[in-house]
Amino acid sequence: MSSRKYVIAALSLASIGANQAIAQSAPSSVAMFGIVDINFRSVKNGDQTIKQVASNGMSPSQFGFRGTEDLGDGLQAGFWLEGAFFPDTGATDPAKFFGRRSTISLAGSFGEVRLGRDQAPGYRNIATFDPFGNVGLGSGLTLVSSLGSGASTLVRTDNAVAYFLPPIMTANCTHAYRECGLYGHISMAAGEGIKGGEYRGGRLGYAVGAVNVAVGMASTKTATTDDFKVKNFGASYDFTQFKLMGLYNESKWGARTHRVLGLGATVPVGQFLLRATMQRADASGVGTDANDARQWAIGSTYSLSKRTSLYGTYGHISNSGAAAFAVGTLPAASLATGKISSGYEFGLRHAF
Amino acid sequence: MSSRKYVIAALSLASIGANQAIAQSAPSSVAMFGIVDINFRSVKNGDQTIKQVASNGMSPSQFGFRGTEDLGDGLQAGFWLEGAFFPDTGATDPAKFFGRRSTISLAGSFGEVRLGRDQAPGYRNIATFDPFGNVGLGSGLTLVSSLGSGASTLVRTDNAVAYFLPPIMTANCTHAYRECGLYGHISMAAGEGIKGGEYRGGRLGYAVGAVNVAVGMASTKTATTDDFKVKNFGASYDFTQFKLMGLYNESKWGARTHRVLGLGATVPVGQFLLRATMQRADASGVGTDANDARQWAIGSTYSLSKRTSLYGTYGHISNSGAAAFAVGTLPAASLATGKISSGYEFGLRHAF
Amino acid sequence: MSSRKYVIAALSLASIGANQAIAQSAPSSVAMFGIVDINFRSVKNGDQTIKQVASNGMSPSQFGFRGTEDLGDGLQAGFWLEGAFFPDTGATDPAKFFGRRSTISLAGSFGEVRLGRDQAPGYRNIATFDPFGNVGLGSGLTLVSSLGSGASTLVRTDNAVAYFLPPIMTANCTHAYRECGLYGHISMAAGEGIKGGEYRGGRLGYAVGAVNVAVGMASTKTATTDDFKVKNFGASYDFTQFKLMGLYNESKWGARTHRVLGLGATVPVGQFLLRATMQRADASGVGTDANDARQWAIGSTYSLSKRTSLYGTYGHISNSGAAAFAVGTLPAASLATGKISSGYEFGLRHAF
């Protein structure tokens, strides 16, 4: 095998032609990126056990393209196209290939204006302050409820117009981009006649030194006169030897309220990162008071490199009343109300 | 963040193996390209107004890969895969991911033979001689009709075999590739038993100096004994300070005829490109004589760079009789016959 | 047109931000690859003739991304995402975009562990020892039957865990990767409650000098108590002037057995590679004894380069009893039982 390169280059196309001249204009840079995550998973729902080769125990498998262009005068344009897929079967979302993110941006000293499909500001805290990052059998998102409101905006919104603050107080910042210094963004999504799609939300946070705290709020129009509302607050503190984090999330729709309180920790030990979480979900209103649930999970990742990790997780949910929260996603076994759902998984995650 | 590159390179794959050896042969060059275009759009159809975050006001959002290979002796092989998507939601065409173009070519001094799915020669003039390039609220394609013939070949054809002339009289040519000097191509598409898919068409043009003129003709088999036929003629002249263009398109199916006459202009003013168009559609035959329509649109693009533009457009269509042509595409509001459809949009377009 | 490159590079993303930090970690290399194959095809099934512009006469059209990462200590991680498409129309598999292969691997001196969707070990011999590589009008796969068992594992399996031997006795090996020296792999696929998906299979081969021999075996759970079983044996010998190959494949499901015996040859003559094959299919059990078929095909490829070829193939199948095997894939014409199916195709194949 030779060592020649498939250099991704713009072609002169002198003979094999282009219909639109636009693709043949100025210099460009495009990054291809993705994650493949496959695991062995065993889940017990009530009395039923199912063993699977599953996806997404540590990170959401994804595939995408993104790029930026320097426009001069401190202005930047950019795009981001990112889709989900399930590497255990090769399946993608048939209708929404770029369903994780599909945006165009204009950024400068004023901040960033971003248009398209993206994560909702009312969601970000739920992921940021979960030691399992809302993925796999320990995901804190499992207990969060849309309360049957029909809102499709809990995690992402179509047709959104968002504004992100520019970097503020980010000197010596060790936090992730967009969660650094004083940070925040607001987003409005057009409903376009689809019930449960019209959205307004915002998030404001402060991450300096060992501290990261943030609040999020959102409201979505539904088919009734009641809006579906989300409020949350998250905080983390990095003690170097370990990191503590907590989240409070409140969903409301009419007389119904659903509260989730989570506490978690991560402990780096060499190439291991131990992770633990405890959560409780508390339903109230319209005869749902008894439908509570508790979740706990422990696990660890083991870094083979910055991009490649092995991992293992054990997750456990006990449901009360008519609650039926289940760990992971099960195509073949359903969970009766008030039962226990638990499972373990170990897998391999590779990012490119 | 480091500055390391994700160089797209062929891998030795010494341990992670390839089943087919073919992908491991000779040097190659592949270009990734695309356009993301999102806008704010407000459309009034009759009495109904709908506001959207929409796609494709200035350019059709797209995503693709193309490449060429030099075979020696003046021969070139090439491929082109290009799909449409809607960046406001991340949606793609579920069944036809590469629905905009999917071709393989062999080119040389004899011209180019191109196989697969591509734009139809009977369509190209409709796009070329429209100041809005057949996109957005000013699109001249809106008034063009397939007359209920069931022909699926108005814009693109599946299963096509096309032949393009080689470059002729292209010295000092400032026109776009494939529309330069004496240019032309013919295309035949196999119907494969699907009614409305079997196609024959051709185009011939001449673009030298300030002038560009072209004629197109096409015929498609339908479920009846009548073929669906298209004839068109376009011309443009660039006066440097401004450019004028005109299009005449005639669709015919049995006793029905539909004629569109368009006049347009573009005016470059610094980074602005002002655009204006007027069109009239004239139906005749089988009681459709009164179903006419008129369209006008004005707008401008503003170049932030060669690849990135802001834009705004206002479009207006007045329908007569049973005509119901509407600006843009509206998922939630339908237009009654004989009513006015109008709207404005402003957006951001980025090509990569 | 300028000569600037669209270098696929990781971006600093200083202003247009990334939500997940994982994609911004260590160096990476990713290869984009694909094949586009379009042809003219004429098939006669019984009395019906259909002419098409079709796909995949010489190679399966495909599109993919793959990459590896060196983890140190002789360890390597890798991923492979590969989807099928039909370039004559631009169509993809709506639900399984990466339906040809979607895997993550960990490899080292111990061999390779590979997880995800991939070719089944019980299938590889059917492709390797067919001069037409299981593609187009001469494909040997056409006569191979799943016997109505409902097994979806004849060619590929979802949810597979496979183990490949490391390189053994591969000195001076001129065979393809993974079929070199003493080679083999086993695979187990989780059924996950879907009938016809739970699979166990293995393959062992020996390819040194002019010889390549291999055996394959596989068993799939079905909706009945009978497993669907495959056994096969293939061998090839390269006499330099020509290469001979043979395949025996046996499918079994309950009382039904289906045997295919194939003999083939390839002859390199300059840039031509002549190809010929003869096959017979022999059904037995439950009144199916008479449902036999014979196939023969001849053709040639002509290399314009290592990546680009012209090709032509003629294929012929005669069916007995209730057998109705047809060459190629025909959307519009079906074949009555016991009839002859034959056809020819010539096309262009380009790999990138």
Q: What is the pLDDT of residues C169-228, one digit of tens each?
A: 887 777 776 788 999 999 999 888 788 999 999 999 999 999 999 999 999 999 999 999
For the question of whether the overall pTM of this predicted structure is more than 0.80, the answer is yes
Rounded to 5 degrees, what are φ and ψ at C124? -50, -40
Give B-chain residues touching A3 at CB under 8 angstroms. Answer: 10, 12
Burial class (CB in 10 A: 0-12, 13-18, 19+), C336: exposed
Q: Give yes or no for a contact between B16 and C105, defined as CB atoms under 8 angstroms apart.
A: yes
pLDDT at A8 over 90: no
pLDDT at A168 over 50: yes
DSSP state of C257: E
The first and second tokens of residue A21, run together, are: 């001249």
Give A-chain residues touching C19 at CB under 8 angstroms. Answer: 101, 119, 124, 178
pLDDT at A179 over 60: yes
The first and second tokens of residue B336, run together, are: 């009654």
Burial class (CB in 10 A: 0-12, 13-18, 19+), A88: buried
Report the 10 Å Cβ neighbour count for B209: 11
**What mean pLDDT value characterizes chain C?**
89
At which residue do the structure tokens 């590497």 appear?
A87
- Helix (H/G/I), strand (E/B), else coil: A141: helix
The pLDDT of residue B335 is 85
pLDDT tens, A33-46? 999 999 999 999 99
Query: Cα–Cα distance between C35 and B27 in angstroms, integer?
Result: 14
The pLDDT of residue C12 is 32
Q: Give yes or no for a contact between A100 and A292, defined as CB atoms under 8 angstroms apart.
A: no
> Terminal CA-to-CA distance of chain A, rounded, Å?
22
Smallest CA–CA distance from A12 into chain C, residue: C1
Q: How far is B12 from chain A (nearest CA, A)?
A: 6
Report the 10 Å Cβ neighbour count for C37: 27
> What single letter denotes the amino acid at residue A250?
E
pLDDT at A56 over 90: yes
Question: What's the rounded mean pLDDT across residues A338-347?
Answer: 96
The pLDDT of residue C177 is 66
Query: Cα–Cα distance between C295 and C288 in angstroms, integer?
Result: 18
Q: Give yes or no for a contact between B239 and B211, defined as CB atoms under 8 angstroms apart.
A: no
Residue in A16, A20, A28 nearest the CB of B307: A28
> Terminal CA-to-CA distance of chain C, rounded, Å?
23
Output C336-340 pairs: Cβ under 8 A, ≥24 positions apart. Answer: C336/C46, C339/C45, C339/C46, C340/C44, C340/C46, C340/C316
Q: Tell me, what's the ipTM?
A: 0.89
Question: What's the rounded mean pLDDT across residues A53-76?
Answer: 95
Give B-chain residues touching C1 at CB under 8 angstroms. Answer: 177
- Among residues C247, C290, C250, which one has the least CA distance to residue C139? C247
Task: Give the distance from CA C168 to its chain's centroid.
Answer: 24
Query: Cα–Cα distance between B121 and B219 in angstroms, integer?
Result: 11
The pLDDT of residue B333 is 54
Smallest CA–CA distance from A116 into chain B, residue: B88
Quick one: pLDDT band at residue A199, thresholds 50, 70, 90?
Answer: very high
Quick one: pLDDT band at residue C286, thresholds 50, 70, 90?
Answer: confident
pLDDT at B62 over 80: yes
pLDDT tens, C238-257? 999 999 999 999 999 999 99
Query: Cα–Cα distance between B351 and A203 in angstroms, integer?
Result: 30
Query: What structural domains does chain B harbor?
Result: 42-351 (2.40.160.10)
Q: Give yes or no for a contact between B118 and B186, defined as CB atoms under 8 angstroms apart.
A: no
Residues above pLDDT 90, as percent of chain C = 80
Q: Give yes or no for a contact between B80 and B66, defined as CB atoms under 8 angstroms apart.
A: yes
Q: How far is C277 from chain B (nearest CA, A)?
A: 20
Q: Give yes or no for a contact between B275 and B300, defined as CB atoms under 8 angstroms apart.
A: yes
- Among residues C266, C276, C307, C300, which one has the least CA distance to residue C37? C307
Q: Give yes or no for a contact between C330 and C43, defined as CB atoms under 8 angstroms apart.
A: yes
**What mean pLDDT value characterizes chain B?**
89
pLDDT tens, B152-172? 999 999 999 999 999 998 877
pLDDT tens, C94-140? 889 999 999 999 999 999 999 999 999 999 999 999 999 999 999 99
DSSP state of B2: -
**Contact A53/C160, CB-based, under 8 Å?**
yes
- Helix (H/G/I), strand (E/B), else coil: C125: helix
Residue A120 forms beta bridges with which residues? none
Residue B315 forms beta bridges with which residues? B297, B343
Q: How far is A72 from chain C (nearest CA, A)?
A: 13
Would strands C62-72 and B75-86 be described as parallel, antiparallel, or unpaired?
Answer: unpaired
